Each structure stands twice: as structure tokens, then as C-alpha cells.
């Protein structure tokens, strides 16, 4: 730094040297033994020097500052926070095994891209497969047993038809095997007749027959459904065969009606009464109380349809026991399947295999690390932001990421701002997560620099930071357009006037001016090379006292 002095510089330096000589030994002692007290010493020295100055007991050296000039321009100003962090993959997973055995296959290598669910390893699993098969058999048996017992509460019809009789009502107690209803299928009637053996041998199932009702001689169409294969001796010692014929019932036929029939022009040798095609007696499978009747007497019921329902404590307990046995077998089956699945190792995530620890043909122990997979869809890092700055950070803010070993600037984004801080040494920081989608040559584990723009002004009127003096005033030349707003209560150097300004965003070099200046203004400011002690009211003696205390030089 260049310091400029006016006349009397030698005298000022003499007084400064004398003051330094007088105070030097004491300050050196404090520096050696009480370095922590230096700031306090400096304050005391400055206060004493100011008091001496005000009493007129010390010589001062006036220094005339030299001003640099520049035009007011527009630029983009960004206030940023800079920190460092370590990159890591979006997600990582260490694949372990829960079983032991020989590796039968491992069809992948380090660096391969894998997808979630893709098979990585197959471990020999013959014992586990056998256990699954046995568990499946036990489960099937328990399922059948439960289905049977659970259906005990219902009385079902094995055939479709009409409930001919219903021998119980709601609230009746029934015992196991007790008859509760009769179901008839009266839609078709069956007639069993005999025909001469030689002729019947030529009949075929499905052949047409003509049925003649006794008494009315009404002729109905019928169909041969069965022809006996053996001969029997009929009336008059004639060999005959039994033939079964079925005919539709329009509702006029019953089991008291008799009839004869002819097949292919051959008449039956006898007359017989009709039977219902189906007639079943329904019984209760277990003891209980009739809880509901689904089909009343005379009502139609479908095949396997429920006619009535039973209830009772003993019945419910039996069903519950069967259900619990079924659930136990289901759990055993699921456990066996889970164990079997552990012998097939699949990728838990989409990603890249960065490490493969075992190969096909090797034996593996339970809990062994088999490989490591990184999800490289993006990179992520956590940075720590001071409590004084954390309120300037929000999700979605852009982050510029650079690395010492990689060229270029990579764009990231804040994805999480933690509400929980960490305190150390009296300072609290908050973790902030940054995601980098397009990471180029960056890799997990790299230490990188992160810069977050917390505030930005574009196309803003800006001046160097040094141009803004205490009280937010700026020197402008008298010819500048903004000189018309000169402050009248403040004396400016020759050729300049002071104007009041309002400031905005600042960076390391420039500050935004939101009002008070305009383009075309010429400003003046003291640069570091023309800095004068008198600008801040510090005389040479004070500087001479402070400098040795800080261990520095003028």
C-alpha cells in the first residue's frame, strides 16, 4: 500500500518513532504473554491518542488525498455465499446376502449399468425349493379342509330344481345328518321301459322316441338316454332289455302318470310310470340352529344353490379352528417363499456397479457384502451455512459448482434447507443439500466449491465500493448531471460536490445505486494507493502506537 504525506513528514515520523520507542517494550511484553488482550490494548491506545490529540499535545500531519475518477455505468451485481462440500451419488446401496451357499451365476461386471429387480447373483437353493413345495402341499390341504368346514353352515342343493318339501323352519335345532328338504328336477321326466332284446340291441343313445300317455293317448317326443347291455327274461319268457327315455315336462306330468313308447317303430313290451329326472334329499352336514331359509318350499334352486343356513357356537368354533390352521399354513408358505427368494440376489436400485466382491463358483456366507451400486442419475452434496446467512437460502436457488481437478462451472440447485442446526464453538450452521444434475466429469467423493447467489441486480447503476462514503454519500464532479442535487451542508474537495445516494446489492467490488446517481455522472473516490490517514482522523502518532502492537508495519 502506498501512503502519501504532506510537508512536515519528517517531524511527524520523528514523533511517531519516539512514541513507538516509548511504548514498544510494554507492547512487546503483552504480545508475548497476552496475545488475547491485543484488541483491548489497541482500543486503549487509540482512546489515549485521541485524547492527546484533542488536548493539542501531539503533532498531526495533514495529507491531501488524491481522487480517482470513473464514470457511472450499468452492470450486473451478485451477492454470493461461498463454501465447500463433498460430492456423493444420488443413492448408493451395498448388496448383502441373507443366506449362504455356492454362487451359481453372477452375470455382470464392475461398471455395468443395472436396473432395479435385475438378477445379479443366483445361489444354490435346492433345500429351499423343497421346503416351498412341502409348504404348498400343506397349504392346499388346509385350504380344502377350511372350505369344507366353512360350508357346513350351508345346506346346498346338488341339482337344480324345485324345493319339493322343506321340513324345518327358522329357529329349529337340527342334528348332523338330519333331513331338512327334498329337491326335485321336474323339468324333464324319466321313463324306464323294456323292449325286445334283439330290437333294443340296435337302439342308440340320443335316438328319438315317441312316448304315449296311458289314458289320454297323448304322444310326446322323447330321447333315448340309456340302453342296457344285458338281456333279462321278461313276461312270457321273452328276452328283453331296459331302455331309459327322457321327455320334457310342461308341468302336466307327475310320478303317477304311466306311458308306453316306441323307438324306430318298435313298441315297448310294457307300460311304466314316470320318475323325476332328479330328486335329492338334503341333509344337514353338522348340528346347529336354522338361521336363514334362502329358498322356500316350492321355490326354484340352482345347482349348488343354498337352501338354508345353520348357525351355532360349536359350528363357529369349528370353522374358526379350520381358519386358523389355514392361516398358519399360509404364513409357513410365505416364509418358505421369502427364504427361497433370498437365494436370488437382485439389484435394489437403478445404477452403476462400482464394486463386485464375489464371483460365480465361490461360496458365500450370510451377511457378506456382494457388490456396491451407485445411482448416478445426479450428484449431491451437503454444505453448511452460517446462521447469519441461512435465511438467505431457499429451495430452488441456483448454485455454481467448481472443482480443482475438473475444468468448468457446473450448475446445481438447492433441494433442501434443514431446520435443524449444528452448534460448534459458539457458532451454529445449518445443512443445505445441493443437487447437480449435469455433472460432467465430476465424481462422487470429489471436494468442490459451491457459490450461491443470494441476491442479484441486473443492468443496475453501480459504483466501486470505495466511492460510497460514510452516510451513503458519493463525490461527483460539478459538471455531472446529478451535481444539481448537491448536499449544501457538507464541504467537498475542490471540483466536487457530495450527493446523497441509496444503495442496493453489493459484491466484493461494486455496489448498486438505486437512487441519487445516473449514467453520465463522473464520481471521485480515494483508491488504496492514495489513502490518507487524515481521512479517518488518525494521526501518525496513533498509527505508530497501533502498528507495533499488532506486529505489523506501516
| Cβ-based neighbours of 95, under 8 Å, separated by 6 or more | 120, 345, 347, 348, 369, 370, 371, 372, 373
Indicate where the chain has its CATH 2.40.420.20 domain(s): 67-75+458-526
Look at the domain 95-128+341-373 and name its fold. OB fold (Dihydrolipoamide Acetyltransferase, E2P) (2.40.50)
| Cβ-based neighbours of 122, under 8 Å, separated by 6 or more | 103, 104, 105, 106, 343, 344, 345
CATH superfamily name and code, 79-89+375-456: Efflux pump adaptor protein, beta barrel domain (2.40.30.170)
Within 10 angstroms of residue 507's Cβ, the number of other Cβ atoms is 19
pLDDT value at position 34? Answer: 35
pLDDT value at position 37? Answer: 40
Q: Alpha helix (H) ranges present in 170-237? A: 197-200
| CATH among 1.10.3720.10, 1.10.1240.10, 2.40.420.20, 3.40.50.720 for 67-75+458-526 | 2.40.420.20
pTM: 0.55
pLDDT value at position 455? Answer: 87
pLDDT value at position 64? Answer: 55
pLDDT value at position 7? Answer: 31
Indicate where the chain has its CATH 2.40.50.100 domain(s): 95-128+341-373
Residue spans of the chain under pLDDT 50: 1-62, 530-554
Residue 477 C-beta-side C-alpha neighbours within 13 Å = 12
Give the whole-angstrom CA distance, residue 63 versus residue 164: 129
Residue 341, helix vs strand vs coil: helix
pLDDT value at position 3? Answer: 32
Indicate where the chain has its CATH 2.40.30.170 domain(s): 79-89+375-456
Q: Alpha helix (H) ranges present in 68-162? A: 126-150
Burial of 43 (0-12, 13-18, 19+ CB in 10 A): exposed
Amino acid at each position: 500500500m502506498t501512503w502519501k504525506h504532506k510537508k512536515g513528514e519528517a517531524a511527524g515520523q520523528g514523533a511517531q518513532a519516539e512514541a513507538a520507542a516509548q511504548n514498544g517494550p510494554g507492547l512487546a511484553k503483552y504480545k508475548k504473554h497476552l496475545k488475547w488482550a491485543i484488541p483491548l490494548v489497541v482500543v486503549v491506545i487509540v482512546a489515549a491518542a485521541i485524547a492527546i490529540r484533542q488536548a493539542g499535545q501531539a503533532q498531526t500531519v495533514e495529507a491531501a488525498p488524491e481522487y480517482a475518477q470513473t464514470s457511472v455505468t450499468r452492470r450486473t451485481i451478485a451477492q454470493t455465499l461461498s463454501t465447500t462440500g463433498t460430492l456423493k451419488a444420488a443413492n448408493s446401496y451395498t448388496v448383502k446376502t441373507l443366506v449362504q451357499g455356492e454362487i451359481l451365476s453372477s452375470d455382470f461386471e464392475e461398471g455395468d449399468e443395472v436396473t432395479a429387480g435385475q438378477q445379479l447373483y443366483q445361489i444354490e437353493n435346492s433345500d429351499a425349493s423343497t421346503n416351498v413345495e412341502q409348504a404348498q402341499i400343506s397349504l392346499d390341504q388346509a385350504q380344502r379342509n377350511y372350505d369344507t368346514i366353512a360350508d357346513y353352515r350351508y345346506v346346498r342343493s346338488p341339482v337344480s330344481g324345485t324345493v319339493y318339501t322343506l321340513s324345518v323352519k327358522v329357529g329349529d335345532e337340527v342334528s348332523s345328518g338330519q333331513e331338512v328338504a327334498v329337491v326335485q328336477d321336474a323339468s324333464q321326466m324319466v321313463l324306464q321301459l323294456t323292449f325286445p332284446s334283439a330290437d333294443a340291441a340296435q337302439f342308440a343313445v340320443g335316438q328319438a322316441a315317441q312316448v304315449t300317455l296311458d289314458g289320454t293317448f297323448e304322444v310326446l317326443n322323447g330321447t333315448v338316454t340309456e340302453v342296457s347291455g344285458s338281456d333279462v327274461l321278461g313276461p312270457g319268457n321273452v328276452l328283453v332289455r331296459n331302455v331309459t327315455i327322457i321327455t320334457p315336462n310342461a308341468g302336466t306330468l307327475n310320478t303317477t302318470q304311466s306311458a308306453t313308447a316306441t323307438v324306430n317303430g318298435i313298441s315297448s313290451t310294457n307300460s311304466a310310470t314316470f320318475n323325476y329326472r332328479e330328486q335329492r334329499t338334503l341333509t344337514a352336514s353338522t348340528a346347529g340352529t336354522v338361521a336363514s331359509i334362502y329358498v322356500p318350499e316350492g321355490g326354484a334352486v340352482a345347482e349348488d344353490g343354498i337352501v338354508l343356513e345353520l348357525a351355532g357356537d360349536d359350528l363357529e368354533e369349528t370353522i374358526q379352528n379350520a381358519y386358523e390352521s389355514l392361516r398358519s399354513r399360509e404364513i409357513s408358505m410365505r416364509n418358505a417363499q421369502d427364504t427361497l427368494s433370498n437365494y436370488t440376489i437382485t439389484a435394489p436400485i437403478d445404477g452403476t456397479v462400482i464394486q463386485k466382491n464375489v464371483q460365480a463358483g465361490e461360496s458365500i456366507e450370510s451377511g457378506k457384502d456382494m457388490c456396491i451400486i451407485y445411482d448416478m442419475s445426479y450428484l449431491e452434496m451437503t454444505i453448511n451455512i452460517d446462521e447469519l446467512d441461512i435465511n438467505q437460502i431457499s429451495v430452488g436457488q441456483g448454485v455454481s459448482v467448481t472443482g480443482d481437478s475438473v475444468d468448468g462451472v457446473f450448475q446445481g440447485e438447492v433441494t433442501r434447507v434443514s431446520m435443524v442446526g449444528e452448534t460448534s464453538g459458539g457458532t451454529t450452521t445449518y445443512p443445505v443439500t445441493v443437487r447437480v444434475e449435469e455433472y460432467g466429469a465430476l465424481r462422487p467423493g470429489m471436494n468442490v466449491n459451491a457459490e450461491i447467489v443470494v441476491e442479484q441486480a441486473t443492468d443496475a447503476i453501480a459504483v466501486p465500493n470505495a466511492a460510497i462514503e460514510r452516510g451513503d454519500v458519493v463525490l461527483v464532479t460539478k459538471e455531472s448531471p446529478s451535481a444539481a442535487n448537491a448536499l449544501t451542508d457538507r464541504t467537498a474537495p475542490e471540483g466536487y460536490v457530495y450527493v446523497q445516494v441509496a444503495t442496493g446489492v453489493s459484491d466484493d467490488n461494486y455496489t448498486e445505486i438505486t437512487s441519487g446517481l445516473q449514467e453520465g455522472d463522473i464520481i471521485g473516490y480515494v483508491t488504496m494507493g492514495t489513502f490518507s490517514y487524515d481521512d479517518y482522523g488518525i494521526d501518525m502518532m496513533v498509527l505508530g502506537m497501533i502498528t507495533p502492537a499488532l506486529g505489523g508495519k506501516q
